[in-house]
Amino acid sequence: MISPARKIAYEVLRRVEVEGAYASDLLHSELGGRVKPEDAGLATELVMGVLRWRRLLDFLLERQLKKPVARLDLPVALALRIGLYQLRFLERIPARAAVNESVELVKSARKTSAATLVNAVLRRAANDARVPATKFVPQITPLAERLGILHSHPTWMVERWLRRLGEAQTIALLEANNRAPRLSCALHDLNQREEIFTALQNAGLRIEPGNILQSAFAVSGGSPTRTESFHAGAISIQDEASQTVPLLLDTKSGHRVLDLCAAPGGKTPPLARAAGAKGVVIAADRHAHRLRAMREQFKRLGLTQVRLLELDATKPLPFGVLFQRILVDAPCSGTGTLARHPEIRWRLNPGHLAEFHTLQTSLLRSALQQLAPAGRLVYATCSIEPEENEQVVEDALRNTKEFQRDTTNEAARAIKDKLVPGRAPESLFDRDGYFRTTPSALETDGFFATIITKT
């Protein structure tokens, strides 16, 4: 017999590999109300753990296999990774259960001929499960390679962070990327704070205050999506740094607002609420299916005034009016979200950063043409790579005189009254005036943003 949790974990990991899907999306669809909370918890732990620690797991497995894991059939590789993750990282799982159920997984995948291999490899690995991985990496291994193995990241990624951040900050970032991120939520009406928190706690959830915003909080001990507060539109699940980005626009009642790359739609609601009934808010995206998902979300939140528009924002925009506020939350590599989306680290390569740079620069240039005089535009990504952040801004603004990047404290003043007590707004901006968050410092995703104004 194979436990429901391991069946779900195996199938999600298989689809992540074969379909290029995101694990978080697949888990959300798989872990419905019929799945017991304990099975949902273990399935999530196995999926995210295997994805985060894939390189180290493969390194340790290859000591036994004497050949690359990549050369194995996918069902065999997944069963080995799931088994070894339990042996090395989950002390409450009996070794026998981890080994035996991994054997059953390959059998159920019609790879019975590999059952003996999986059994032998995992039984040998069980003997070394409490030996620190550092013992198996030769001391002569170059630093980036060594850190890449031990912290389970691609070497090329570690190399660039070492050059830019230094060893201490790089290790802190690697460690943060391998921790389960806080499940952060947005509270849509601060006046209902106590009432909603009481309801969530009565539903069995534990509440922690936000690290940045008064309207943010973190939950544990269950899923907020199963609560009445969520279904009633009182809260949403959203990373705290992501919640902060739209606030940088300082949208006012009556403003015309364009959210140019709006999907999945988390940053549009605060813009719509700030613009109010007298404002105009357009949320655009190039993918119709993502707009449909946004429409359902906005129904839950009671936002009926947002206009959804399908368009390719790299081309001249079809608007006959200018906007006082524009958000360009650009598609990016997502290197600031590797704790939340660990599969990204195995899909990226250095060439992707140049491709994203070209796309992002085109998007920003298109958006700038729609900005009204005295208007404000925020360019943002969930990447921590310069090619996608400050270098995009520099290229888009090169040889322009009517647009300026705001390097004053204007942005800090715009969010000051929304921050938790003791959080200085200046702490969210670097010395060049760029908004930055890092997983290691704030327990959030890594976000970048800057404000651009038009004279």
What is the set of active-site residues?
382
User: How wide is the angle at C-alpha 36 spanned by C-alphas 30 and 41, nearest 5°?
Assistant: 70
Tell me which residue of 369, 375, 442, 418 sits closest to 173, measured CA to CA.
442
- Between CA 271 and CA 65 the distance in angstroms is 54
How many other β-carbons are positioned within 10 Å of the β-carbon of residue 427?
A: 12
Cβ neighbourhood burial of 408 (10 Å; 0-12, 13-18, 19+): exposed
- Between CA 19 and CA 264 the distance in angstroms is 20
201's CB contacts (< 8 A; 6+ apart) are: 207
- Over its C-alpha atoms, the chain yields an Rg (Å, rounded) of 23
* Structure tokens given for 150: 């031990």
CB 196 within 8 A of CB 234: yes
Tell me which residue of 110, 41, 111, 53 sits closest to 83, measured CA to CA.
53
Does the N-terminal peptide bond of residue 209 adopt cis geometry, omega within 30 degrees of 0? no
* Structure tokens given for 430: 């670097």
CB 445 within 8 A of CB 340: yes
365's CB contacts (< 8 A; 6+ apart) are: 396
CB 407 within 8 A of CB 393: no
Backbone phi, psi, residue 357, to 5°? -60, -45
- The DSSP bridge partners found for residue 419 are 213
Tell me which residue of 72, 55, 12 sits closest to 338, measured CA to CA.
55
Can you list the positions of beta strands (E) in 276-317?
280-285, 306-310
- Between CA 36 and CA 350 the distance in angstroms is 41
* Structure tokens given for 383: 């990447």
Alpha-carbon distances of 107 from 2, 78, 79, rounded to whole Å: 11, 12, 10
- Between CA 416 and CA 410 the distance in angstroms is 10
